[in-house]
Homo-oligomer: A and B are copies of this chain.
Amino acid sequence: MFGFDISSVTGTARAGSLQLPHGAVHTPCFMPVGTQGTVRTLSPHDLRAVGAEIVLANTYHLHVRPGEDVVAELGGLHRFMGWDRPLLTDSGGFQVFSLEGFRRVDEDGVEFQSHVDGARRRLTPERATEIQWTLGADIAMAFDHVVPGGVDEATARDAMERTSRWLERCARRHQELADRRTGGPADNTDRPPDRPRPSGNPLGPVRQTLWPIIQGGTYPALRREAVERILAVGAWNGIAIGGLSVGEPKASMYRTLEEVEPRLPAALPRYLMGVGFPEDLVAAVLRGVDLFDCVAPTRMGRNGTAFTPDGVVNIRNAKHRTDAAPLDPTCDCETCTTYSRGYLRHLFAARELLGLRLLSLHNVRYLIRLAGEMRRAIAAGDFAGWAEAWRHRYLQSEPA
């Protein structure tokens, strides 16, 4: 039910396809982020139209509002969002460690304040796993201890080791939930044998895979050790690289990827968490990454900034006032095939909500098309050459 096939490799860049319960995902792949169970301004119909194959949702956000039990009562996360393709939920680790205000970490888990009502809440590896099980995404992530980009080695080691211990607890809990669902050992403890299995899906998803997260900051030795520990815990269907794009220099992120890549089993899809600028996607694919997520395309879109092959365009700029050209003449999205830059600028000047949506739509489509171009370039056999030409065009051009 979970499978990853690599169809072509060029250098360390790979193209392939990942089979998940709700469908196939072609890699390299960009996942739009639906923080609160919706990719901001976009409907599932829009997401299908731009070719999204998998969407990420945030466990922390859905836990505090509306609560995983509400989502379950409304049929699980797929039904809730109206999205029938694959979903991935993060574990809440990143959010909890990014929150302003109170936070206390101990070996058991993290106590924090909800950003919605200020109430004290607690997440542990077991709770994060249970919440994700209840939400029912295709891929769940292990609960991790994330540290900022510039921390010292001792702090990074402490968080990496804790993440590693937490991984064992996540994996154990995930297995218990899966056993209960399928009538395995844990099932007998809380359901009388004469009671028929309830209909529907009250015990969580039929199939869900749990992926571990590599931490260790920008310290190569820690990253290497994190990989070893993860691979020692069990067999996985995928593996994530966390704790990057959190304030460290870009060169440091690229070096870390180069350090980690040779140690990752080729058969596992590799997911670089929270990375989504075009230049980072290209650089990371060159270094063997398969999956990405980032709020950048929608956040920047709402801010009036659009990705194009020639670099970013700020549509609020006065020079677009009477520009009848599309935002990106190479793009096939609704925004670029329907509207002029002049109209899009007007929507932003007039603070019309449609503008936020149209630029978000384009930016997501841009990254999905970029991933598709990379797939083709890898298959064609000279990905490094393609990447160099792409980067030259994207970064050398002046901002519009």
Contacts and interface: CB of A to CB of B under 8 A. Distances in A.
Interface of A: 36-38, 40-45, 61, 65-66, 70, 73-75, 79-82, 321-322, 324, 334, 338-340, 342-343, 345-347, 349-350, 352-354, 356-358
B41 A353 contact: yes
A345 B73 CA distance: 14
Contacts of A45: 334, 338
A74 B353 contact: no
Contacts of A349: 65-66
Given A75-B324, A322-B73, A40 B354 contact: yes
Nearest to A360: B353
A212 B238 CA distance: 68
Contacts of A338: 43-45, 82
Contacts of A353: 40-41, 353, 356-357
Contact of A342 (B42, B66, B343): B66
B82 A37 contact: no
Given A73-B342, A350-B36, A66 B321 contact: yes
3 smallest A-B Cβ distances: which pairs?
A: A82-B338, A36-B350, A73-B322
A342 B338 CA distance: 33
Contacts of A347: 38
Given A322-B74, A357-B357, A82 B350 contact: no
Given A339-B82, A357-B353, A357-B357, A321 B70 contact: yes
A334 B356 CA distance: 20
Contact of A80 (B74, B321, B343, B357): B343
Nearest to A356: B353
Contacts of A38: 347, 350, 352, 354
Contacts of A343: 37, 74, 80-82
Contact of A340 (B43, B61, B80, B350): B80
A45 B334 CA distance: 9
19 contacts: A37-B343, A37-B350, A38-B350, A40-B353, A40-B354, A43-B357, A45-B338, A65-B350, A66-B342, A66-B350, A70-B321, A73-B342, A75-B340, A80-B342, A82-B338, A82-B339, A82-B343, A353-B356, A353-B357
A350 B35 CA distance: 10
Contacts of A79: 340
A352 B38 CA distance: 8
Contacts of A37: 343, 346, 350
A375 to B, nearest CB: 28
A74 B40 contact: no
Contacts of A354: 38, 40-43
A73 B346 CA distance: 13
Nearest to A324: B74
A40 B356 CA distance: 12
Most buried by B among A79, A345, A346: A346
Nearest to A83: B338
Contact of A352 (B36, B44, B74): B36
Most buried by B among A61, A339, A347: A339
Given A36-B352, A43-B338, 12 more contacts: A44-B338, A61-B350, A65-B349, A65-B350, A66-B321, A70-B322, A73-B342, A74-B340, A80-B342, A80-B346, A82-B343, A353-B353
A346 B41 contact: no
Nearest to A341: B74
